[in-house]
Amino acid sequence: MITAEALQQLVETHGTPLFVIDHDELRNNYATFKKYLPRVQAYYAVKANPDPAIVQTLFDAGASFDVASMPEFMVVYDIIKDMPENERQEWIWDKIVYANPVKANETLVELDRYKPLITFDNREEISKIKQYAPHSGLMLRLRVSNTGAMVELSSKFGAGPGEAVDLILEAVKEGLTVEGLSFHVGSQTTNFENFVQAINLAAHIFREARERGYDKMNLLDIGGGFPAPYDDSVKPFSELARKINAELERLFPPEIEILAEPGRFMVATAGTAVSTIIGKAVRDGKLCYYVDDGVYHTFSGIIFDHCQYHLESFKKGPTQICTVFGPTCDALDVISMAEELPYNLERGDLLYSRNIGAYSGASSTWFNGFPPAKVIHVNR
């Protein structure tokens, strides 16, 4: 973890707002995932933070990739574009999953050129894939419980258990190849039973498909949702891994390849935001600080990711509950209504927020004309 002293030195060089990415932490997170889930190939969910430098570091560490748009696909493709054509195509087939179940016709045409594995979850998508991307390998995405997830996804995506095998057989009837199943238990899932239930459901669907004559599935994608340690309420990753490993060993023979799509887990703890106090006021008896970063920038995860980030001060002193506002003229730009900070901070003092690497800078805008924070990469 980058030290407070190092952060202050970076501010002296670059000013604020800063978004600092620690690549040692990226490598450590990838190694931790592989240590505790040795059977599972990690496909980094690029949407969590699509910075090309992050993708490159995880590529070098051995990661595969989950993309959900063609721009995300091209971030990965730029790393491998100079490979010999046959080697490049084999790498894409084996190392990229396009995990957005509903795709535009134009996207499918592009995907058919590169032939990554793609997901689907409904009959209309089967018709589109047959017409525009018939050479793709498919995975059926299942609807599973998202109870206890910070961001639920099951209301938008996933085939119901009762229709799953019918969809598989319909795709096969259309001449497509269904390679396996996928699911997503919801982002930042602290209810580990979601994984247990979903793996058991997938095993049931595998069994039903075999009983109905289709035995060519050899992949299971257990999705994302692996929680980042934002606070002490998040149980250790090793505990989740024990549950997953036990169910995989019990239900899926070694010849079934297991994939996963960790995003937040890989990058959340690698990011730190540093901002400067630009204003100070007392409103209705409550101390308010204004800083030069906000929810339209690095703290966008407050809006889009339902995540609350905590702020710390380099300066120590007696504390009280404060409000922290971002720099724009919009009253929506609130970082926190209840942050415990020193009450003796002044204009020009710094605040920083750790564990902000996921779903944060990825959604930064230029709202009000304020530019996104400057991104600094350390330990590359």
Active site residues: 329
Residue 37 CA: distances (Å) to CA of 238, 241, 262:
9, 6, 12
Alpha-carbon gap, residue 195 to 361, rounded angstroms: 28
Taken in order 125, 63, 46, 335, the sign of the CA dihedral is positive
Residue 95 CA: distances (Å) to CA of 43, 108, 208, 255, 316:
7, 18, 28, 18, 47
> CA angle at residue 6 from 2 to 8, to 5 degrees?
125
Among 57, 62, 139, residue whose Cα is nearest residue 97: 139
**313 sits in which H/E element:** strand 312-313
Residue 24 CA: distances (Å) to CA of 27, 54, 76, 88, 380:
5, 11, 20, 27, 7
Q: Which two tokens stand for residue 4?
A: 């407070």
Q: Which two tokens stand for residue 324?
A: 């922290």
